[in-house]
Structure formats: C-alpha cells, structure tokens
C-alpha cells in the first residue's frame, strides 16, 4: 500500500530547516481571510459575470466601462483589506531564508503592504495598482488612487450596488437586460497621458496575455540555479498556466510539495501527493504561521 502525504507539523519543520532553496506558489486563497474573493467557487461572481470572463482583452474591448467597474471594485476592496497572518508568515520566512522566493498570482498588493522583501516576491499576474495603457507602453506603478477616476467611484450612478446579494431582483434584471447600454461611454473613461488616445487599464495579466518577461526570467534563473528542496502551494487551484506549471518544474528539480488549501480535493496541476509530500488542509492565514514558525 503506497503511503500518502504527511500532515505532521514537526516533520515539516525538519524538512524546512534542512532546506536551502524553497518556493511558494500563492493564489487567491492566501487573501481569502483578509476578506477578498477567490476566482473560482463561491466568491467568483461579480454582477452575475464569472470573474474569468471579465479578465480578458476581448472583454475590455467589448465593454471597457464594465471591465473597469469590476477592477475599480476590486481595487477598492483590496485597499480596504489588510494583510493577514499568512502574508506576514511568508515575509518572516523570506527574511530568515535568502533562498526562499514567493511566486504570487495575486494582484491585490497585500504581500507588498506586509513589507515582503521585493527581490523575494515575484508578481506573476501583475498588480491592480499598476496602471497601463491599452495601446502604448505607458505604465504607472503604485497608483493607489481610489477611485482612479471619479467616473469609477463605486458609489457613482454606475456603481457597484448590484454586486451585493441584497440587491433588488428588479435592479439586477434591468442590468442583465441585453438592451442595457455600456455602463460608461469609453470616451468618459481615463485615457493615457502619453499617447492620449489609448484607454488606461489595470496592470494585471489577462487570459491570452504574456506574463511579465522580466519576472519569468527571474524565476527561471532561480530554477536553473540548482536543486529545489520544497514548493509550498498555497491557496490556489493551480489551474492557470504558466503559473501552475511551476509545481511540476520544482518537482523535476527534486522538490517535495506541501499543499496548503481550504479544500484538499483541489489538486489542479499538482497531480497526486506522494510520500514525502505534505498536506495541510484549512485556512492559509491560520496554517502558515503554525508551519513556518
Ligand atoms: C483557500 C482559502 C483559505 C479558499 N485558505 N485556501 C496550458 C494549458 C492550457 C491552457 C493554457 C496553457 N498555457 C496557457 C494557457 C491559457 C491560459 C490558461 O491557463 N488557461 C487555463 C484556465 C486552462 N493562460 C493564459 O492565458 C496566461 N497567458 C499565457 O499563457 O500567455 C502565453 C499564451 C498566450 C496565448 C495563448 C497561449 C499562451 C495568462 C493567465 C493570466 C490569468 N489571469 C488571472 C486574472 C488576473 C487579473 C485579475 O485578478 O482579475 O489571474 S485569471 C485568475 O486565476 C487570476 C488568478 O491569479 C488566477 C489563479 O487563480 P487562483 O489564485 O488559483 O484562485 P482560485 O479561485 O482558482 O483558487 C482559490 C483556491 O484557494 C481554491 O483552491 C480554494 O480551495 C482555496 N482557498 N479560501 C487556503 N482561507
Ligand atoms: Zn498610451
């Protein structure tokens, strides 16, 4: 009978202590206990739109106002949230272990606000607080304006009230009427200060877009440097590529896998957990401080 993964905190502590090169691959579950929604499952809906259908360049071309309202809501929520004990536990481990880097798919800025050492934090999917031009190469980093523009205020007439489940059925039905015009005329949305013609957009990586080349290069350099002892897969379904592919690449470099997830049924790209691997089922904000101390 093959034996499966361990959930023994002491045994994990011994592996961590003997490790020199460690990766964490993080997803939305890391920020769940800070009150931010995940993409898939219960939290992944906004105004009856599946979050993943709004996170594409095609959606932005079709209705940039709708997509911007979704991101304006997400920026607002992220700014109201605070980093949790899970973010801080990763920061502490980073300080203790120079060979530890965190690859995060999250765009919420919470790791940055927990003062995660920047060289040890790789933002695979960009940030809600980087603002780019849809047409040219203009980028503005660390823009925490909320709203970015008055037209995107979530209490404006084109607001976010429909996002709550308390919304009246009539209001929701009116919104979903296919005759409903675009939420905001594109001409009224913020435009690029550089080329003047392009619409500004959030600096996140949408489906079909390349991940930031410099970040991918930095991660590749780390992988190429030698064996990897451990990859912790934290609060992610590991279904979105190329991010999910890092689990197999770390394994190919000898890494054990430690899965930290509310729902251990969610194995995504992880495949099966084997002897030597670890499984910690529960809230990342509670588990990470326990296993990384
Ligand atoms: C908790 C918890 C608690 C809850 N504690 N846990 C290879 C195969 C097939 C397809 C592709 C492929 N390579 C590329 C593709 C296409 C595509 C892709 O991967 N598609 C898949 C869906 C199949 N990838 C791309 O398009 C990427 N670009 C690319 O590859 O460029 C080159 C190329 C171009 C064109 C053609 C081919 C190649 C770009 C992907 C960008 C993804 N962007 C998004 C949106 C970012 C902006 C935004 O935030 O709106 O990133 S999608 C969305 O998913 C977001 C997330 O970062 C990402 C991952 O989600 P995550 O974090 O895992 O969240 P959930 O909700 O899925 O999971 C939460 C987990 O937490 C769950 O497991 C819960 O159980 C758990 N949990 N509470 C612990 N308290
Ligand atoms: Zn521009």
CATH code of the domain covering residue 135: 3.30.1600.10
Mutate which of 24, 28, 30, 37 for ligand 1 pocket (most atoms within 8 A of beta carbon): 28
Q: What is the mean pLDDT of the chain?
A: 89
**Which among 57, 29, 28 has a CA at the least distance from the CA of 132?**
57
Report the alpha-carbon distance of residue 32 to residue 18 in Å, rounded. Answer: 30
Number of independent structural domains in the chain: 2
71 sits in the region (left: phi over 0; alpha: psi -120 to 50; else beta) called alpha
Which ligand approaches the C-alpha of residue 196 most closely?
A: 2
Same domain, 28 and 54: no
Query: Of ligand 1's atoms, which has the minimum distance to the CA of residue 244?
Result: 19
Same domain, 108 and 239: yes
pLDDT digits (tens, 9 = 90+) for 61-99: 998 988 998 899 899 999 999 999 999 999 999 999 999
Same domain, 277 and 141: no
List residues with catalytic annotation.
125
Structural domain of 268: 1-35+83-124+212-293
**Which among 132, 97, 102 has a CA at the least distance from the CA of 116?**
102
pLDDT digits (tens, 9 = 90+) for 230-244: 999 999 999 999 999
pLDDT of 54: 87
pLDDT digits (tens, 9 = 90+) for 243-256: 999 999 999 999 99
Task: Please report, in range form, the residues annotated as the binding site for Zn(2+).
Answer: 133, 136, 192, 195
Same domain, 25 and 55: no
Task: State both tokens at 161.
Answer: 């009230």
**Which among 49, 46, 3, 1 has a CA at the least distance from the CA of 276?**
3
CA quadruple 59, 62, 66, 67: dihedral, nearest 10: 30
The β-bridge partners of 23 are 101, 231
Assign residue 118 the CATH number of its domain. 3.40.50.1220
User: Which residues have any ligand 1 atom within 6 Å of their CB?
Assistant: 27-29, 32-33, 38-41, 44, 52, 55, 105, 107, 125, 204-210, 235-237, 239-242, 261-263, 266, 283-284
Same domain, 58 and 160: yes
Same domain, 15 and 45: no
Which ligand approaches the C-alpha of residue 199 most closely?
A: 2
């Amino acid at each position: 009978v093959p034996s499966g993964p361990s959930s023994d905190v002491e045994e994990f502590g011994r592996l961590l202590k003997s490790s020199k090169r460690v990766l964490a691959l993080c997803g939305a579950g890391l920020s769940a206990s800070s009150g931010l929604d995940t993409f898939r499952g219960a939290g992944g809906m906004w105004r009856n739109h599946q979050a993943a259908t709004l996170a594409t360049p095609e959606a932005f071309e079709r209705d940039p106002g709708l997509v911007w309202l979704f991101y304006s809501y997400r920026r607002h929520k992220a700014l109201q949230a605070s980093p949790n004990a899970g973010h801080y536990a990763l920061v502490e481990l980073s300080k203790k272990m120079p060979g530890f880097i965190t690859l995060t798919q999250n765009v919420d800025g919470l790791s940055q606000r927990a003062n995660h050492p920047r060289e040890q934090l790789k933002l695979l999917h960009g940030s809600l607080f980087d603002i780019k031009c849809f047409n040219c190469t203009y980028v503005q980093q660390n823009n925490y304006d909320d709203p970015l523009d008055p037209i995107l205020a979530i209490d404006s007439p084109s607001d976010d009230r429909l996002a709550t489940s308390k919304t009246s059925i009539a209001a929701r039905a009116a919104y979903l009427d296919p005759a409903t015009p675009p939420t905001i005329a594109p001409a009224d949305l913020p435009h690029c200060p550089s080329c003047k013609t392009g619409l500004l957009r959030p600096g996140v990586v949408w489906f079909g877009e390349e991940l930031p080349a410099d970040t991918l290069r930095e991660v590749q350099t780390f992988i190429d440097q030698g064996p990897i002892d451990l990859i912790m897969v934290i609060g992610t379904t590991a279904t979105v590529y190329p991010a999910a592919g890092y689990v197999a690449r770390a394994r190919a470099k000898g890494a054990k896998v430690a899965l930290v997830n509310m729902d251990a049924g969610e194995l995504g790209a992880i495949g099966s957990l084997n002897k030597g691997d670890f499984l910690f089922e529960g809230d990342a904000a509670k588990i990470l401080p326990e296993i990384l101390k």
